[in-house]
Amino acid sequence: MKKLAFCAVLSATAFAATGAFAAEPVIGLITKTETNPFFVKMKEGAQAEAKRLGAKLMTASGKKDGDTGAQITAIENMVTAGAKTILITSSGDAIIPAVKKAQAKGVQVIALDSPFDGADALFATDNYKAGILIGQYAKVALGGKPAKIAMLDLFPGHPVGAQRHNGFMTGFGLKANDAKSNELSATPETVCAADTDGNQAKGQTAMENCLQKDPAINVVYTINEPAAAGAYNALKKAGKKDVIVVSVDGGCEGVANVGKGVIAATSQQYPLKMAAMGVAAGVDYAKGGKKASGYVDTGVTLIAARAVAGVDSKDVKTGTDLCWGKK
Amino acid sequence: MNTLKAKLPPISQLGPFIALVIACVIFGLTTDNFFTGANFALILQQVMVVGVIAIGQTLVILTAGIDLSCGMVMALGSIVMTKFAVDMGLPAPLAILCGIGVTAGFGLINGLLVTRIRLPSFIVTLGTMNIAFAITQLYSEAQTVSNLPPFMTALGGTFDIGSTPVSYGTLLMVLLYLAAWFWLRETASGRHVYAVGNSPEATRLVGIATDRVLLWVYVLAGVFYGIASLLLVARTEVGDPNAGQTENLDAITAVVLGGTSLFGGRGMILGSLVGAIVVGVLRNGLTLMGVSSVYQVLITGILVIIAVTVDQLSRKGAR
């Protein structure tokens, strides 16, 4: 295991050292973390597309979500190393000044997955729509019963968390803020809200506390699939059946959990596509000098084991074919 | 003034209990379902992981050290025990021992670096925290380990006291606290831990091998983190590579709220249990009240400052 850690250090150094004198277009990819399967898949997509189009890809990442310091350093290093396009999944708005400096030197900066002000373009999942899809599904799946909903969120103040949360409520037919809001909406139907940090153990704790508040909860919205797995564990231990758990992500573990009945439905997003489109835009810019612009929706698909009337969904097999992570 | 200062030491010891009682009364009055046996059993179950980490953390802090690596080391322990059992097919008890062996090994490394090379514990454990995190991610390939043998999750099961279901993990946590309390209070080696934290020089001069005491404290702390790994696995029924990221600060918070001095040599182990429960009660009670989690963070922050202030004032009083 120590050998592995040593290799990681070596390869990190190698990434930092390469790339200065390449003739082909140099494109940088900066992710939030190195290890999350979502970003691993993103990197795979970028590498494949770079190989296909004859571009050189440099990669870097923060240590964990929120590690903007490492991302800023990576932007500076990549600009120095001659990157003309940088693709970045922002860990926070602290990177914006560094992005502006890079753009002033003629570098195209594209936001992947997470939006921030000042990016030339954004290739990302429509998180509000991802929320709407699972909201619509949960509404139909519940039938006419009065809804008692637990909202298992990320943490306060995160735009992606707010968009999924408010999108879910809108899809469910409840009054909620629009996609631009960072505030989490609440109505009498959302009987409980708690934070999970997108983490399984904390998702379980949050669900346990919500069941104490209202044991009759029949719908559970979760920010991501680990939180959903934690919620399911809490429901199982409390002997609750027929509670509809919905989520967002579409990772392979999550899709497998849809197959097992842990999660009723999940909105699947496509990191590979975001990265591939980003690399293609980088090559275009290097060749033609034309920057990408605006927002491109990379698509989201509802994956459910059991389809319900009036809501389009794909089955677990399709979800597994398209999922990210280890199958 | 003198009389006020003279009265402060007992407050630093009673403080955590007072905070706990106040929080319980407030939540009891403002919510319908806080004061039930089932809810208290649940809160205990939710704090058992941080609670057991806090035992190890208390030992380290009593020697005037600090351990930032505990959460990540626990995550590594849980990945090792689950992967050894599921992927390599080791019998569950053996896999569990391997996991605890790894966490104890990290404790040994921390202890050796602190005692032999005289590095500050803050820096040593900052380093081992990152190393444990990286190994956890690389070894697990950032994938959750599931389908665990039942033996591994047995501590998550419950038994009834009256009509309240209490988990075996909670019982284990309480027993570990009682054992640690007895050891620190009633045995010579336990008293040495306090002595090393109070005055390492004086302790050495009376003929106690201070380095050996320190080394054992770190190893023992590692063993407690390993037991916490098992409790985490039992509770969540998976090996989660993303666990443990905030548990170091959560455990330090519990220890400080519990009245143990960050300057070493003073404190009581049972206070750490109360400190952990206070955090769990706030999280549970505020969710029941429907209050945003930001307030939980705010209140915890204020309580930590109060606890440290009381400690500092009582130190001055004692001088």
In the block, tokens 């319900």 appear at A308
- Write down the pLDDT at residue A10: 45
Euclidean distance between CA atoms A175 and A60, whole angstroms:
41
- Which among A58, A52, A116 has a CA at the least distance from the CA of A86? A58
- pLDDT higher than 50, residue B190: yes
The DSSP symbol for B12 reads: H
Q: What is the dihedral of CA B258, B263, B264, B265, to 10 degrees?
A: -90
Rg (CA), chain A: 21
| Token code pair at residue B182 | 């007895």
Question: Within an 8 Å CB–CB cutoff, is residue B142 touching chain A?
Answer: yes
Question: Within an 8 Å CB–CB cutoff, is residue A205 touching chain B?
Answer: yes
pLDDT in tens, A3-32: 444 444 444 444 444 443 446 899 999 999
- Which among A268, A264, A236 has a CA at the least distance from the CA of A252? A268
In the block, tokens 């809490």 appear at A234
Report the percent of chain B where pLDDT is more than 90.
71
* Mean pLDDT score, B154-174: 92
pLDDT in tens, A214-267: 999 999 999 999 999 999 999 999 999 899 999 999 999 999 999 999 999 999
Question: Within an 8 Å CB–CB cutoff, is residue A35 touching chain B?
Answer: yes
Euclidean distance between CA atoms A257 and B246, whole angstroms:
26
CB contact under 8 A, B242 and A34: no
Q: Do domains A2-125+271-292 and A127-269+302-322 have the same CATH topology?
A: yes
Strands A300-304, A244-249: pairing kind: unpaired
- pLDDT higher than 60, residue B17: yes
Contact B318, B265 (CB under 8 A): no
- Write down the pLDDT at residue A9: 47
The DSSP symbol for B187 reads: S
pLDDT in tens, B19-68: 899 999 999 999 888 988 889 999 999 999 999 999 999 999 999 999 99
- pLDDT higher than 80, residue A300: yes
- pLDDT higher than 70, residue B2: no
In the block, tokens 């921390």 appear at B110
Task: Report ipTM for this prediction.
Answer: 0.82
Contact B286, B266 (CB under 8 A): no
- Write down the pLDDT at residue A156: 80
- pLDDT higher than 70, residue B198: yes
B49 chain-A contacts, CB cut-off 8 A: 201
**If DSSP states are collapsed to H, E and C, what string results for chain A?**
CHHHHHHHHHHHHHHHHCCCCCCCCEEEEEECCCCCHHHHHHHHHHHHHHHHHCCEEEEEECCCCCCHHHHHHHHHHHHHCCCCEEEECCCCHHHHHHHHHHHHCCCEEEEECCCCCCCCEEEECCHHHHHHHHHHHHHHHHCCCCCCEEEEECCCCCHHHHHHHHHHHHHHCCCCCCCCCCCCCCCCCEEEEEECCCCHHHHHHHHHHHHHHCCCCCEEEECCHHHHHHHHHHHHHCCCCCCEEEEEECEHHHHHHHHHCCCCEEEEECHHHHHHHHHHHHHHHHHHCCCCCEEEECCEEEEECCCCCCCCCECHHHHHHHCECCC
- pLDDT higher than 80, residue B4: no
Q: Where are the domains of chain B?
A: 36-306
Q: Could you tell me which residue, B44 or B162, shows the higher pLDDT?
A: B44
pLDDT in tens, A275-290: 999 999 999 999 888 8
- Which among A162, A178, A159 has a CA at the least distance from the CA of A170? A178
Euclidean distance between CA atoms A265 and A220, whole angstroms:
11
Report the percent of chain B where pLDDT is more than 70.
95
pLDDT in tens, A134-173: 999 999 999 989 999 999 998 887 788 999 999 999 999 9
Enumerate residues 276 to 305 of chain B having a beta carbon within 8 A of any beta carbon in chain A.
Answer: 283-284, 287-288, 290, 292-294
CB contact under 8 A, A201 and B290: no
Strands A219-222, A244-249: pairing kind: parallel
Contact B26, B299 (CB under 8 A): no
| Token code pair at residue B282 | 């706030």
Question: Within an 8 Å CB–CB cutoff, is residue A189 touching chain B?
Answer: no
* Mean pLDDT score, B175-197: 95
Give the residue on B whose Cα is nearest the Cα of A237.
B157
The partner residue sitting opposite A200, judged by closest CB among B240, B288, B293, is: B240
- Write down the pLDDT at residue A33: 85
Mutation site for B-interface testing, chosen from A205, A217, A223 by largest number of B Cβ within 10 Å: A205
For residue A41, what pLDDT band results from cuts at 50, 70 and 90?
A: confident
- Write down the pLDDT at residue A67: 85
Class of domain B36-306: mainly alpha
Question: Within an 8 Å CB–CB cutoff, is residue A161 touching chain B?
Answer: no
Q: Could you tell me which residue, B294 or A302, shows the higher pLDDT?
A: A302
Computed over every residue of chain A, the mean pLDDT equals 89
**Secondary structure class of B167 (helix, strand, coil):** strand
| Token code pair at residue B137 | 């991610």
Contact A81, A20 (CB under 8 A): yes
Contact B41, B167 (CB under 8 A): yes
Computed over every residue of chain B, the mean pLDDT equals 91
CATH 3.40.50.2300 fits A127-269+302-322, yes or no: yes
Euclidean distance between CA atoms A205 and A198, whole angstroms:
12
**Which has the minimum average pLDDT: A209-223, A313-327, B85-99, B115-129?**
A313-327
Rg (CA), chain B: 20
Contact B16, B257 (CB under 8 A): yes
CA dist list (Å): A279 to A105, A291, B84: 19, 12, 40
- Write down the pLDDT at residue A6: 47
| Token code pair at residue B294 | 């930001």
Euclidean distance between CA atoms B45 and B170, whole angstroms:
6
Question: Within an 8 Å CB–CB cutoff, is residue A188 touching chain B?
Answer: no
- Write down the pLDDT at residue A12: 46
* Mean pLDDT score, B95-102: 98
Q: Where are the domains of chain A?
A: 2-125+271-292, 127-269+302-322
- Total Cβ atoms within 10 A of residue B139: 16
Question: Within an 8 Å CB–CB cutoff, is residue A197 touching chain B?
Answer: yes
CB contact under 8 A, B288 and A213: yes
- pLDDT higher than 50, residue A46: yes
DSSP H or E segment with residue B67: none
For residue B3, what pLDDT band results from cuts at 50, 70 and 90?
A: low
Q: In the CATH scheme, what is the code of domain A2-125+271-292?
A: 3.40.50.2300
- Write down the pLDDT at residue B277: 96
For residue B12, what pLDDT band results from cuts at 50, 70 and 90?
A: low
Measured at the CA of A233, the angle between CA A230 and CA A239, to 5 degrees, comes to 145
* Mean pLDDT score, A175-199: 92
* Mean pLDDT score, B172-194: 95
For residue B312, what pLDDT band results from cuts at 50, 70 and 90?
A: confident
Euclidean distance between CA atoms B16 and B23, whole angstroms:
11
* Mean pLDDT score, A30-46: 87
Backbone region of residue B120 per phi and psi (left: phi > 0; alpha: psi in -120 to 50; beta: other values) = beta
**Which has the minimum average pLDDT: A206-210, A290-294, B122-126, B180-184?**
A290-294
Q: How far is B186 from chain A (nearest CA, A)?
A: 36
Euclidean distance between CA atoms B82 and A247, whole angstroms:
26
